[in-house]
Amino acid sequence: MIVLVSGLAAGALFAATALAYNVMFSTSKVLSVTTGHIAMLGGVFGAYAITGLGLPPLLGLLAAIIVGALFGYLTDVIAIRRVVSRSDEHLWLLSTLALATIVQQGVGLWWGTEPRPFPRLIPQDFSAGLADQKYWLPIVTTALLAVALELFYRRTLYGKLFVAMSEDTFAARARGIETDRIRALSYVLAGIIGGIAGFAAGQLTFAFFALGLTLTLNGFIALAVGGLGSNAGALVGGAALWLLNAWSSNTIGGEYQNTVSVGLLMLVLLLKPEGLFGARNVRPV
Amino acid sequence: MKFQGRAWVLAAALFAASPAWAQSTIKIGWLSSLTGPLSSAAIAENKGVEFAVEEINAAGGVLGRKLELVTRDTAGDPTKAVSFAQQLVFSEKVHFVIGPVNSGETLATVPIVARAGVPNLIIGTIDELVDAKKYPRAFRAINTNRQWIEAANKYALEVLKKHNVAIIGDTSGYGTSSAKTATELLARAGVKPVYSALVDPNKTDLTDELNKAKAAGADVIMPWSAATGLLGRLINTRGDMGWNVPIVGHPSVMAPAIRKLINKPQYWENTFAAGPVSTTFRPDGKLPERTQALADKLRPRLGGGEIDYLFWWVALGYDAVKIVEHMVKTAGGTDPAAIQKAFESTRELKGAYATYSWTAEDRNGFPDLDITVNVANSLKDGCFKAAPR
C-alpha cells in the first residue's frame, strides 16, 4: 500500500508537469524543455523563502508561484516569442533547452549542487506513514490543479480564448484575438501550475537543482502516453508512468526504470501516436 | 661608452637569467573541480594544496626551486578536464599533475597525462585509474573504493556480527560498480546478500526497497552510493519505519549535507561509514599527532573556529604537494623517469592523511591499515569518532 501511495505521489508530480506542458502547448504548439525546471524553481524558491528568509509556508507558496509565473513569462519573452514568429522550424527546442540549461546551472551556482531539505508545511510527526503530507500534498494539489484548469477552460473567457487558439491560431487571430498576449498569459499560467506543483512535492523531491530535466522527460512521457492536449490524459499518463515505474523497479530492478519508461513512450508512439486521450487530428486535403 | 657597456652586460645577464629562472620553478598542475558537483571535496582539498605550496615556498622551496601551482577548474566535467589536462602537460609543461578530483574525470585524463610521460598523482578511488603497465607514472594517494568496501564489510560481519546484508546501490556508473564489488567481496567471506537493489538517485521514496529488505530478513543495510539525496532518503525511511537496523557503507552517509536532509537528528544514529584513521578521534578523544599538527597550522586559514570542512580532504590535498616535494628531493630533480623510480622506492612516507608506500608493481600508496569505520553523526572539527568495536 505504501508503495502504491508513494509512487502515486511521484506520478502526481509528473502529471502536474504534463498539465503545464499542455497549457503552453495549447497556445504555442511548443513543448518547452523548461517545463520541469519550473517545478524545480518552485521547490527551491519555496524552500529558500521558508527556511532561508523565515517566511510562513503560505508566503513560501506565494514566492514559488511568483517565481514560477515570472519564469514562465521570461520563457515566452526569451525563448519563444521571436523564435516562433520568425520560423516554422522547431528551433524552439534549442532555445528552450538553452534557457533550461542556463537556469539549472544558475540555480546550481547559487543554491548549491547538493539536494537541500524542504521544510514541513503542516505540523505533523514523521511517523504518520501513509498519511504523511509528503505523499498526499502532491496528489491532492495535482487533482485540484486539474479541476481548476478544466473550470478555467470551460467557464472563463480567457480559458475559451486558450481553447480557440489551440484549435486554430490563425483563425483566432483573424477573429481579433491578441494571440501574442494570450500565449504570454498561457506561459505565466503554466509557470504558476509548475511552481505550485514543485512546492507541493518539495518534501518528496528535496530542493534540488538538477530535478528539472528528470521532470521534463517524465512529464513529457506522461503527456505523450495520455495524449497531447488532454488534461485528463495528463493525469492518466502520469499515473500510468508511475505504475510502470513501480512495477519495473519492483520486478526487474531500478537500473532499468528509465529504459522501461522510455520504452513505454516508444510503444505508445508506435501503436497510438495520439496517446490514450489525444484527439486524432484529421486534416482534410 | 663605459655605461653603455655595463648596460649591455646587465641586459645579457638578465636575458640569460630569465629562462634559467623559468626552469627553476617546479610546476604543479592541479586539476580541481572547484565549482559544480563534488566541489565540496575539491574546495577542501584546495585549502590543503595551497597551504602546502605556500609553506614549502616560505621555507625556500625544494632543492632551491620554488613550487608554482597551476590550478584549473574542471567544474567536474570530464570534457573540460581533458582539455585542461592537455593544456597543462603540453602548453604549460608542468612537472606533475595532481588530480582531477572525481573518478569520472580521472578516467578521461589519466591516458593523456600518461602519454605525455608526466607523473600524475591520482586522488580518485575507482580501481581502473591506476595500472603499472598502461600508466607507469600514475600513482594513487587516496584509498581505493575496494578498501572502503572491505572495511565496511569487515565491520558489519565481524564486529556487528550481522550476516543478513541488504545492499543498496544507485544506478550511476559508480553506484552500480560499487554494489557489484561489494557483492563480490561479501561472497569471498561466504555471505550472500539477502536483498540487493539498484535505485535511481532521484527516486523520491525508498519505502519499497526497505520493506523488501526487511521482509527478506536483512539485519544490516549497506548503501554504496555517493548521492546524498538518496542516502538522506534512505536514513529517513529507516527512521520513519521505526526500523532500528544499522547502516554501514559509503563515506557519503556521514557527509555534512546529510545532517540537513534528515527528518530528526536521532535518525542518524546507528549509522557507520568507512573513513581514514588519520581523521578519526582515538579513544582518548585526541586525533593522531600528524593530523592534529596540520589542523593547528591550518585552523586560522579555515575560519579560526571549529573546522567545518571534511578534514580528510584537506589533509589529502596537503599530502599531495608534500609527496611531490618528497619525490623531487629523492630524485634530485624533476626528471620524470627519476621521479617514477623515486615513487617506486618510497616506503612508509608519513603524511597527514596516510602513510604511503608504492612499489614497482603496486601504484596504490594508501595502506589497508589506514582505513577504519566511523560513527556517521559524530562530525567534530572535520573529523569523526571511531565506530564502537
Nearest-CA distance A279 → chain B (Å) = 32
The answer to whether the Cβ–Cβ distance between B205 and A204 falls below 8 Å is yes
Per the CB < 8 A criterion, the answer to whether B275 and B371 are in contact is yes
Chain B residue numbers with beta carbons less than 8 Å from the beta carbon of A211 are 202
A109–B171 CB contact, under 8 Å: no
- Grid coordinates representing B5 are 657597456
* Residues of chain B with C-beta less than 8 angstroms from the C-beta of A214: 202
Question: What's residue B312's pLDDT?
Answer: 94
Q: Give bridge partners of residue B139 from the DSSP assignment.
A: B121
For residues B193 and B18, what is the distance between their CA atoms, to the nearest angstrom?
Answer: 64
Pairing of strands B271-276, B67-73: unpaired
In this complex, do A214 and B202 lie within 8 Å of one another by their Cβ atoms? yes
**Contact present, A75 and A34 (Cβ < 8 Å):** yes
Other C-beta atoms lying within 10 Å of the C-beta of residue B2: 6
Q: How far apart are the first and last CA of chain A?
A: 52
Calpha distance B305→A221 (Å, rounded): 51
Residue B100, preceding bond cis, omega within 30 degrees?
A: yes
The answer to whether residue B257 neighbours chain A at the CB level (below 8 Å) is: yes
Query: Of B171, B198, B204, which has the smallest distance from its Cβ to A205's Cβ?
Result: B204
Is A114 in contact with B228 (Cβ distance < 8 A)? Answer: yes
Question: Scanning every residue of chain A, which has its alpha carbon at the shortest distance from the alpha carbon of B241?
Answer: A127
Return mean pLDDT, chain A: 88
Is residue B120 a contact partner of residue B97, using CB atoms and an 8 Å limit? yes
Q: From the list B40, B198, B232, which residue is nearest A255 (CB)? A: B198
**With an 8 Å Cβ cutoff, is B37 touching chain A?**
yes
B244 shares contact with chain A (CB less than 8 Å): no
CB-CB: which of B208, B228, B240 is closest to A250? B208
Q: In Å, how far are A4, A11, A137, B211, B263 from A1, measured between CA atoms?
A: 5, 15, 17, 11, 22
Predicted local confidence at residue B19, as pLDDT: 45
* Under 8 Å between Cβ of A204 and B205: yes
In the three-class reduction of DSSP (H, G, I as helix; E, B as strand; rest coil), residue B37 is classed as coil
The DSSP code sequence of A16-82 is HHHHHHHHHHHHH----TTHHHHHHHHHHHHHIIIIIS---HHHHHHHHHHHHHHHHHHIIIIIIHH
A49-95: per-residue pLDDT in tens? 999 999 999 999 999 999 999 999 999 999 998 888 887 678 889 99
φ/ψ of B27, rounded to 5, equals: -90, 125
Which of chain A's residues have a Cβ under 8 Å away from the Cβ of B199?
Answer: 249, 254
Give yes or no for a contact between A41 and A67, defined as CB atoms under 8 angstroms apart.
Answer: yes
Distance between CA atoms of residues A120 and A60, nearest Å:
12
Asked if residues B44 and B317 have their Cβ atoms less than 8 Å apart, the reply is yes
Question: What is the rounded (10 degree) CA torsion for A158, A161, A166, A172?
Answer: -160
DSSP state of B277: G
Interchain CB contact of B208 with A (< 8 Å): yes
Strands B280-281 and B384-385: parallel
Asked if the C-beta of B202 comes within 8 angstroms of chain A's C-beta atoms, the answer is yes
C-alpha angle A228-A232-A236 in degrees, rounded to nearest 5? 90
**Chain A closest-CA separation from residue B207 CA (Å):** 7
Of A189, A130, A179, residue with least CA distance to A3: A130
What separation in angstroms does the CA of A166 have from each of A160, A162, A179, A183, A222? 10, 6, 11, 10, 20
Comparing alpha-carbon positions, the chain B residue that sits nearest to A257 is B200
* Helix, strand, coil percent content, chain B, rounded in steps of 5: 50, 15, 35
Closest CA to B377 of B295, B271, B299, B290: B271
Rounded to the nearest 5 degrees, what angle is found at the Cα of A194, between the Cα atoms of A191 and A196? Answer: 105
CA–CA gap between residue B385 and residue B148 (Å, rounded): 17
Position A252 pLDDT exceeds 90: no
Encode B59-120 in three state secondary structure.
CCCECCECEEEEEEECCCCHHHHHHHHHHHHHHCCCCEEECCCCHHHHHHHHHHHHHCCCCE
| Structural contact between residues A37 and A238, judged by C-beta atoms closer than 8 angstroms | no
How high is the ipTM of this complex? Answer: 0.80
Residuewise pLDDT in 10s, chain B (389 residues): 444 555 555 554 444 444 444 458 999 999 998 887 668 889 999 999 999 999 999 999 999 999 999 999 998 888 999 999 999 999 999 999 999 998 889 999 999 999 999 999 999 998 889 999 999 999 999 999 999 999 999 999 999 999 999 999 988 888 888 999 999 999 999 999 999 999 888 888 888 899 999 999 999 999 999 888 899 999 999 998 999 999 999 999 998 888 889 999 999 999 999 999 999 999 899 999 999 999 999 999 888 888 888 999 999 999 999 999 999 999 999 999 999 999 999 999 999 999 999 999 999 999 999 999 999 999 999 999 999 98
- Cα→Cα distances B162→A21, B157, B234, B246, B375, Å: 49, 5, 19, 9, 17
Please tell me what DSSP assigns to residue B158: I
Instruction: Find, among A10, A31, A34, A14, the residue nearest to A22 by Cα.
Output: A31
| Residue A91: how many other CB atoms lie within 10 Å | 14
The candidate with the shortest Cα–Cα distance to A211, out of A113, A80, A68, A143, is A113
Q: How many Å apart are CA A46 and CA A50, to the nearest integer?
A: 6
- pLDDT score for B20: 43
